[in-house]
Amino acid sequence: MLELKHALSELEKVVDVAQLENFFQIYLWKKGLLNEEFKVMVDLPAEEKKEKWAKLSEIKTKLTQAYEAKEQYFKMGYINEQLEKDLIDISLDASKDIWAYSLLAEIRRDAEEICKSMGFIVEYGTEIVTKFENFESVNIPLTHPATEMHDTIYLNDKDASGENLILRTHTSSMQNYLIQKYWLPLKAVVPGRTYRFENMDASHDTMFYQMEWIVIDKNISIAHFKEMITKLLSALLHKNVETRMRPGYFPFVEPGFEIDVRYEIYNKETEKKELSNWMEILGAGMIHANVLKEAGVDSTQWSGFAFGIGISRLAAVRYWIKDIRYFTNGDLRFAKSFA
Ligand code: PHE
């Protein structure tokens, strides 16, 4: 009878896919050694047959398992090799229709179009930033407890002053960069990814999308901001919204606000229209004099406002999504339901 030990040692010697295929042909193929032995057994007396059959079955199981493990090993090696070569994940089955719109991209594009029509520059900036850009340029001293709230991912690479580079924790880190790049008057938006140390839940994720608005000109006041934010949110949410301003603290604005929205919804039970609850949707404020000073701007001449919206949160409101993690967890059932 075929010896398991011998077959396994033969398998051991296999070093590439071609040899593995050869091994399969010899041992496991339907006309291979194993099946030949099963065939021969058909004519044996019942007792003997039973015993040998069981033994041979066991050999077949073990050999097949060992073969499959090796096959898997080669496959992974091949995939990893390809991945290293061109960074494209070839393990995805391209024959299937797997694309779907990303709701986050859709709302970002919408926002960009609306902003362009309002005369804003759209700029993506960089996700890797200096600590100066992320903290000090927006009036957060490195010793400030707010840097802890914004704990993030530190890179090994360093900036010119020897500080480690980090992944930006908010798009406000682009304020100084935008002022330097375009100077004044300035109307610009930055959509993009931001990273934070967060306990993940339905409305918090460690990577999330933000969009920052910055307006600096002569005689800019809170009234300009209030008018703009209401129009903008109505356009973005496809509803007429009401906005409410509450005092809020952010080191880079003075005064600072939290903005809530509410809008009319249809209550299916009472069959009447009613107002939704107030929802906190963004942080905002008049740009702090220290931020302007740090960028070399004379704050007696210029003033402005800035605000930052979580795009994921906005999309959640617009599309009635309960958990923002759906946007990025790659679940095709979710993505396809909006295709
Ligand atoms: N950067 C703030 C945040 O991430 C939002 C904000 C932007 C607040 C601009 C005020 C002004 O929470």
Ligand 1 geometric centre to CA of 40 (Å): 79
On whether the CB atoms of residues 20 and 14 are closer than 8 A, the answer is: yes
Q: What are phi and psi of 221, to 5 degrees?
A: -125, 175
Ligand 1: residues within 6 Å at CB? 170, 172, 212, 250, 253, 256, 283-285, 306-308
How confident is the model over 139-149, as pLDDT tens digits? 998 887 766 65
Angle between helices 311-319 and 222-237 (to 10 degrees): 50
How confident is the model over 260-305, as pLDDT tens digits? 999 998 888 999 999 989 988 899 999 999 999 999 999 999 999 9
- Which residues, including other chains, have CB under 8 Å from residue 138's CB and lie 6 or more apart? 172, 173, 175, 176, 251, 252, 288, 291
Q: Which atom of ligand 1 is nearest to the CA of 308?
A: 7
| Cβ neighbour number for residue 37 with a 10 Å cutoff | 17
Q: Which atom of ligand 1 is nearest to the CA of 169?
A: 4
Ligand 1 geometric centre to CA of 150 (Å): 11
Ligand 1 geometric centre to CA of 287 (Å): 11
Q: Which atom of ligand 1 is nearest to the CA of 256?
A: 10
* Cα separation, 100 vs 88, whole angstroms: 19
On whether the CB atoms of residues 42 and 101 are closer than 8 A, the answer is: no
pLDDT at 116 over 90: yes
How confident is the model over 122-180, as pLDDT tens digits? 999 999 999 999 999 999 988 877 666 567 888 899 999 998 899 999 999 999 999 99
pTM: 0.69
Question: Which range is least confidently modeled, 25-34, 276-285, 291-300, 329-338?
Answer: 329-338
Strands 154-158 and 207-217: unpaired
Ligand 1 geometric centre to CA of 314 (Å): 15
Q: Which atom of ligand 1 is nearest to the CA of 257?
A: 10
How confident is the model over 217-249, as pLDDT tens digits? 999 999 999 999 999 999 988 889 999 999 999
On whether the CB atoms of residues 315 and 103 are closer than 8 A, the answer is: yes
Ligand 1, atom 9, lies closest to the CA of 307
